[in-house]
Structure formats: C-alpha cells, structure tokens
Structure 1
Amino acid sequence: MSELLWQKPGVEVDPRIQAFLAGDDVLLDREFILDDIVASAAHACGLARIGILSAGEGEAICRELATLSDDFKAGAFVLDERYEDCHSAIESRLVERLGDVGRKVHTGRSRNDQILVATRLWLKRKLGETKALCREVAEVCLQRAEAEALPMPGYTHLQRAVVSSTAMWWAGFAEAFIDDAVRAQQASDWIDANPLGTAAGYGVNLPLDREGSTKELGFARMQVSPIYAQLSRGKFELAAVDALGAAVLDLRRLAWDLSLFTTAEFGFVKLPPQYTTGSSIMPNKRNPDLVELMRATYASIAAARTELEQLLSLPSGYHRDLQFTKGALVHAFGRGLGALALLPNLLRGMQWQPERLAQAFDDGMYATDKAVELAVSGLPFREAYKLAAVEPLPSHGADPQASLEARVSPGGAAVLGLDVLADRLTALSVAHVAP
C-alpha cells in the first residue's frame, strides 16, 4: 500500500489493523472512483477561481484527472490494494504525475465530502437507471394490456374469487411500475444536493465557490449546512434503497404470480425456454429459476436497508461506522437493478395458455356479479348477497366475457383506463417530478 494520507511520522502502521480499517473500500470504490474524479475536477476548478491554484495548475490537474478516468475505463489503471481507497488513489496519481501541484488538490476538502459527493452522483445515476427500467416494464405491460384481454380467474387468499382478465393483470402491474418510476425520480430529486465544500462537516476558512461547483456537477442545489451534510449520511442512502425496494417489491409479487402460473396445477403461463433451467438429475424438469431468483432479490434490498438503518445510531459529526454504508448500497443496487433489467424481455416473451385459463372458471366466480345485479334491481345488498350464495349465476350466465364487459367501474375490465396510465407514463418521461 502507498503511504497513507493521514500517516504521522514515527507511527508504525500495523498491517492487520489497517486491513480491518480499509475493509472492502478499495474494491467498493471501483463503483465510485469515476464520480470522485469528476468531483475532484470540479473542486480543482473552484480552487483556481479563488486563487488557491493558478489557472495553469488547475488545468494540469483537470487534464490528469481526465487521463486517469480514461485509464480506469480502459483497465490501464487498477484500483487495488496499493491504495487505501479511491480518494487516496486519485491524489497519489496526481502527485505522481504533477508533484507538488498534485499535493494541492486536497486543499479545502476532506475525504468526508469527497465520498458524499461521489455517492450522491452515483445514486442519481442508479436511480435514473431504476426509473428507466420501471418505465420500460410499465410500457411492456401497457402494450400487452392493449393487445390481449383473455378472461382469467381473479384470486383472493389464493382461492378463485371473481372473473378477471389478462388485461387487468397487465394494467395492475403497469400502474405499479409507473408509481415506482415516479418514486425513483422523487428520491433522486431529494438527493440532488451538492455537499462538496462542506469538508469534514464544519466548513473551511476559505471562500470556496460552492455555488460554482454545484452548477458544474449538475446538482439542483447546494447542501448548505456542513453539519447536515454529515447528518444526511445514511439517510439519503436509505431513501435511495427505499425507492429501489418499492420496485423490487412489485417485482417480487409479479414473480410470485409467475411462479404459481407456470406450475402444472395452474398452467396459465409458458415462459420462454431461455428463462428456465434444467435439473441436474431429473431429465423431465424445466425450472423457473430466474423467476425464483427475482422473487428472492428483495431479501438483498431489505438486508441493505437494515444495515444502513442500524449504522445510524450515532451522534452528529462524522464517525467511521459510516464507511460500511457503501457495501450495503452497492450490493442492493447491484442485485436490484440486475433483476429489474431482465424483467422487460421476460414479460415480452411469456405466453398465456388460453385453454388452461378457460378451464379454471367455476360458477361461484359469478356470485358477486349476481349479488350486484340483484342490488341494482332494488334488493338490499345483504339480501342479494344471501341469494347469490345459493344461485350464483347472473343474467348473462356463466359467461366470463360478458362478466368482463359488465365491469364498468373505472379501472374495471370494461374501462381499464389504459389511456390514463399511458398519459402518466408519457408525462413521466418528459417532465421533472417534483419532490
């Protein structure tokens, strides 16, 4: 490992202690180093604007940072055990290339605001990916709701309940993922504040151009209080994980449906063969492993949320405990976005099995239609309820299509409101959603 940024003369560093202190930082920081490079360039430009760096020094630092970014992307620079973290790696590279000029870059900042700004930039991007994937899922659902409206059983308590349709099923998940996209945008808006220049949490004795760096980094606003910059640690990560978790919860429910619907007992859905796997011992098996792992993904989100929440039992100011927020965050978004990214094509390729859907209806599923029909004729609903329990068939008989056509309440099968959902989706794609 290169010389530590904080190392004091005459103090020997115990390798075992340092390994524990560094933890997985050098690996996790591979996620954040490009954002840290961008923020370092903004900081250098700001130092040049207030005269701490000359124009030439600022330009040299920014030029070397751009080269480092290119080298990292190309694999020519590897963030490994030579460094404590991405922050020390960046400074080490600048010193190596620029000497004393590189040593000036840390003036007026701390590793505390470095990781804060890098994490916020990273989360804005990850929440943007979350929003985009939720929008794509919603688009697929709306397209399929428009294209097919096969009658299918609706369930409560996993028992056959009423007549429903594939279009209603698609519309339900379309609206769910539209809401999830909105939530991802709202979380991003809330996180969209610049902590660069708050240093270790108490500001510095320099007239830093924090408004300038805010604009340069593309943040919507400046995070004003240095103390709040530290108080917000863990809190804004929780908001991001919660937004991701909302989408993955809907993914889990959808995956549960597909897990049931693909069983031989239901047989409602056939998955594309590339989304199933075989058994290592049973030649007859094709297993919905992908769907099951999608269903399991929320466990990683919940674990990350718990870890983040438990780390926040702290007084104000910076505490090293907060280092552990990075692992939870990287793991949650890695798993969550990985699962969401596979969902659109799975939904495009799954096939309903109309004959199995039709076989699943029974007379009892029309009882609610019968009760409402009797109530419309003037009978008190509780009387109608009792009569429908004995004779469940309404005037249209055991006809699932007629039942669907009669469902004229807004959002019901005859008035799905797909145009309303499509308008919400369009508005989401072109408008900024306020927090």
Structure 2
Amino acid sequence: MSQPLWQKDGVRIDPRIMQFLAGDDVILDREFLPFDIEASRAHAQGLQRIGLLTADELASIERELAALADAFAAGDFVLDERFEDGHSAIETWLTERLGDTGRRIHTGRSRNDQILAATRLWLKARLRQLADVCTDTARIALTQAARHEQTAMPGYTHLQRAVVSTVGHWYAGYAEAFIDNARRARDTLAWIDCNPLGTAAGYGVNLPLDREYTTQALGFARMQVNPAYAQLSRGKFEMAALEALSSAMLDLRRLAWDLSLFTTSEYAFVALPAQYTTGSSIMPNKRNPDVVELMRASYAAVAASRSEIEQLLSLPSGYQRDLQLGKGALVHGFGHGLRALALLPALIDHLDWQTARLDAAIEPSMFATDLAIELAARGVPFRDAYRQVADAVEQTGERSAGSSIEQRVSAGACGALRLDMLAARLQGLAGD
C-alpha cells in the first residue's frame, strides 16, 4: 500500500490495524472512482478561479485526471491494495506525474467532502437508472395490458377465487405501480441533488472557494450550504435513495410471487420464457423458476442494506468513521436491486398466457358480486341484495366472463382500464 495521506513521521503503521481501517474501501471505491475524478476536476477548476492554481497547472491536472479516467475505464489502471482508497489513488497518480502541482489538488478539501461529492454523483446516476428501468417496465406493461384487455382471468382475494378479472387488468396494475416508482426515483433524485463539495470536514475552510461554480460544473441543482448539514446528510440521503429502490423492489416481489403461483401446474395460467428457468440437478423433468424466485428474494437484500445504514446513524453531529461501513451496504443494495429490475421488462414482455386454463378457472360463484350490484342498482338495498345472492349463488350460472368484464365500468376496472390516462402519466415522466 502507498503511504497513507495522513501518515505522520515517526509513527509505525500496524498492518493489521491498517487492514481493519481500510477494510474493503479500495474495492468499493471502484464504483466511485470515475465520480471522484469528476469532482476532483471541478475542485481543481475552482482552485484556479481563486488563484491557487495557475492556468498551466490546471491544464496539467485536467490532462492527468482525464488520463486516469481513461486508464481506469480501459482496465489499465486497477484500484487495488496498493492504495488506501480511491482518494489516495487519485492524489498518488497526480503526484507521481506532476510533482508539487499534483500535491496541490487537496487544498481546501477533505476526504469527507470528497467522498460525499463522489457518492452524491453516484447516487444521482443510480437513481436515473432506477427511473429508466421503472419507466421501461411500465411502458411494456401498458402495451401488454392493451393486448390482453379482454383476456379473462380469475381475480383473487385471500388467495381464493373472487371475481372475474383480466390479464390486462393485472398488467395495468403493475404499469401504474412502476410509473409511481419511476416518479419516486425522480423525486428522490431532485431531493438529493445538492453539492457538498467545498464543505471540507464539516466546517468549511479559510478560503473563498467558488462553491457556486463547482455546483454548476458538476451538474447539481443547488448548493448544500451548511457544512454541518453536509455531514448530517451522509447516510440520510443514501437511505432515501434505497427507499426509492425498495419501492420498486416491493412491486417486483409481488409480481414475482404472482408468477411463482401462476406458473405452477396447479394454476398453469402462464409459461415463463425458457431463459428465465433452470433445470434440476437430479430431476430431469423439472424446469424451475429460479430467476423469478431470486427476484422475489431480492427485496431482502435492498431492505437489509437500508437497515445496515440506518443502524450506523446512531451518531452525534460531525463526521464519525462509523459512516465508512455504509458504503458497502449502499453498493450492494443498489447493485443487487438494479440487476434484478433490469431483467423485468423482457420477462413481462414475453410471458405466454394460457387462455384455455384461464377460461377454465372462471367458475359461476365469481359472478356473485356482479349480481348483487345489479340488484342494488335496481333499488334493492345492497345488504339485502348481498344476502339474496349469497343464498342462491347458482343463479349466476348463466353469465359469461365477457359480460362481467364489459360491465365493470368504474374507472380503472377491467372494463374501463383507462390506459390512456396511465400512458399520459408515463409520457409526463419523459417530459420532466
């Protein structure tokens, strides 16, 4: 490992303690290094604006930061155990190539605002990914809802057959859910879109740093003004981002549960695309819905990541080293969640619905609610109508699934899905 940035003369470093302090930081910082380089470039430009770097020095730093970014992207530079973390790797790269000019990069900043800025930029990128995959999921679900608007299926409550519904209604429900999930991701991004660079260790510095400039240069919507709040927001903003991810993961879990049930031989309502199933290691007859089952389990990984960060935040104000341990939880939670969600659009676009099985599952008792409401519409008090139908369910036997669907005309019901309204909301997201 290169000499730590904080190394003092005469102090011997115990390798075991150093390993404990560093942990997996240098590995995790591979996620953040491109954003750390971006923030370092903006910081250097800010230093030049207040006369602490010459134009030539800034040009050389920008050149070397670009070279480091290219080398990292190409795999020619590896962030490994040679470095304490990504911050030290950047400074080491600049110092080895530029000497004293490289050593000036850390003027006016702390590793605290350095990781805050890099993490904030990383979070913005991940929330954009989340919004995009939720939007794609909603778009495909709406297309399939229109295609299956008249495809009858049982609607369930308490896992018992309840009323006639449609595959289109099922798709439309998840379309609206993922429209809302995309909106929440966008709203969370807007909430965290503030620049912590220049707050240093949480108390500012005795330099007239041009923080408005770095805010603009890094594409932040506003400046995070108070340095103490910049530290207080660490963990808080990460939890908010994970909560937005959790919202989508909850819907993914429920959708995966639906498919886990609907693909069993007992239901056989739908078949999964072949690539979303695996074989058994011992039973030649089996095709297992492993992908769907792991999608169903993935919410746990995201929820655990959020909980891990929350447990770290029993802290006073100011920076505490405890917060370092939240980095792994954040990377793991978003990595696992986004990988699971990325598989969802193609899955729901290629489900093979078994219409014969769906039709066969429609039974006479499922028309009972229709009959009770029809009686109420003719003036029979609903509770009387309810009892009449309950005592004579066989009266519903002459009805059809198609007529039940057509008569379900309350807004959003299977006879009036209002897909146009959902499509307008989805289009509104694209216009934001």
Instruction: Decide: shared fold, TM above 0.5.
Output: yes
CA positional deviation for 1:398: 2.7
Native 8 Å contact 1:25 1:85 kept in 2: yes
Residue in structure 1 matched with residue 138 of structure 2 by the alignment? 138
Superposed CA RMSD in Å reads 0.9
Whole-Å separation in 2 of the counterparts to 1:394 and 1:192? 60
Native 8 Å contact 1:130 1:337 kept in 2: yes
Residue in structure 2 matched with residue 293 of structure 1 by the alignment? 294
* 3-state SS in 1 of match to 2:165: strand
**Residues 143-167 of structure 1, C-alpha deviation per residue, up to 9 Å, x if partnerless?**
0011123100000000000110001
**Residues 172-214 of structure 1, C-alpha deviation per residue, up to 9 Å, x if partnerless?**
0000000000000011001100000000000000000000000
Whole-Å separation in 2 of the counterparts to 1:244 and 1:390? 47
Whole-Å separation in 1 of the counterparts to 2:257 and 2:62? 50
Residue in structure 2 matched with residue 36 of structure 1 by the alignment? 36
Residue in structure 2 matched with residue 251 of structure 1 by the alignment? 252
Whole-Å separation in 2 of the counterparts to 1:224 and 1:42? 17
Residue in structure 1 matched with residue 57 of structure 2 by the alignment? 57
CA positional deviation for 1:396: 8.8
Residue in structure 2 matched with residue 381 of structure 1 by the alignment? 382
Whole-Å separation in 1 of the counterparts to 2:203 and 2:317? 11
Residue in structure 1 matched with residue 115 of structure 2 by the alignment? 115
Residue in structure 2 matched with residue 428 of structure 1 by the alignment? 429
CA positional deviation for 1:397: 3.0
Residue 167 (structure 1) aligned with residue 168 (structure 2)? yes
Higher mean Cα deviation, 341-350 or 258-267?
Answer: 341-350
Residue in structure 2 matched with residue 199 of structure 1 by the alignment? 200
Q: Which amino acid aligns with 1:58?
A: L
Residue in structure 2 matched with residue 80 of structure 1 by the alignment? 80
* 3-state SS in 2 of match to 1:31: helix
Whole-Å separation in 2 of the counterparts to 1:224 and 1:64? 30
Q: Which amino acid aligns with 1:294?
A: M
Structure 2 residues without counterparts, runs of 5 or longer: none
Residue in structure 1 matched with residue 314 of structure 2 by the alignment? 313
Residue in structure 2 matched with residue 372 of structure 1 by the alignment? 373
Question: Which TM-score applies when normalising by structure 2?
Answer: 0.99
Native 8 Å contact 1:32 1:118 kept in 2: yes
**Residues 7-40 of structure 1, C-alpha deviation per residue, up to 9 Å, x if partnerless?**
1100000000000000000000000000000000
Q: Which amino acid aligns with 2:298?
A: T
CA positional deviation for 1:378: 0.7
Percent identity, please: 64
Whole-Å separation in 1 of the counterparts to 2:394 and 2:16? 76
Residue in structure 1 matched with residue 393 of structure 2 by the alignment? 392
Whole-Å separation in 2 of the counterparts to 1:394 and 1:18? 78
Whole-Å separation in 2 of the counterparts to 1:299 and 1:319? 27
Residue in structure 1 matched with residue 3 of structure 2 by the alignment? 3
**Residues 106-160 of structure 1, C-alpha deviation per residue, up to 9 Å, x if partnerless?**
0000000000000010010000000000000000100001112310000000000
CA positional deviation for 1:280: 0.3
Whole-Å separation in 2 of the counterparts to 1:115 and 1:135? 30
- The 1:402/1:396 distance shift into structure 2, 3 A limit, reads farther
CA positional deviation for 1:395: 7.4
Q: Which amino acid aligns with 2:221?
A: A
CA positional deviation for 1:71: 0.3
**Residues 74-122 of structure 1, C-alpha deviation per residue, up to 9 Å, x if partnerless?**
0111000000000000000000000000000000000000000000100
Q: Which amino acid aligns with 2:276?
A: Y
Whole-Å separation in 2 of the counterparts to 1:114 and 1:397? 71
Residue in structure 1 matched with residue 272 of structure 2 by the alignment? 271
**Residues 346-371 of structure 1, C-alpha deviation per residue, up to 9 Å, x if partnerless?**
11111100011011111111111111
Q: Which amino acid aligns with 2:173?
A: G
CA positional deviation for 1:393: 6.0
CA positional deviation for 1:59: 1.1
Residue in structure 1 matched with residue 46 of structure 2 by the alignment? 46
CA positional deviation for 1:66: 0.5
Residue in structure 2 matched with residue 213 of structure 1 by the alignment? 214
Question: Which TM-score applies when normalising by structure 1?
Answer: 0.98
Output aligned runs, 1:91-106, within 5 Å.
Answer: 91-106=91-106
Q: Which amino acid aligns with 1:416?
A: L
Residue in structure 1 matched with residue 331 of structure 2 by the alignment? 330
Structure 1 residues without counterparts, runs of 5 or longer: none
Native 8 Å contact 1:144 1:170 kept in 2: yes
Whole-Å separation in 2 of the counterparts to 1:391 and 1:63? 83
* 3-state SS in 1 of match to 2:357: helix
Whole-Å separation in 1 of the counterparts to 2:391 and 2:140? 41
* 3-state SS in 2 of match to 1:161: strand
Whole-Å separation in 2 of the counterparts to 1:183 and 1:397? 46
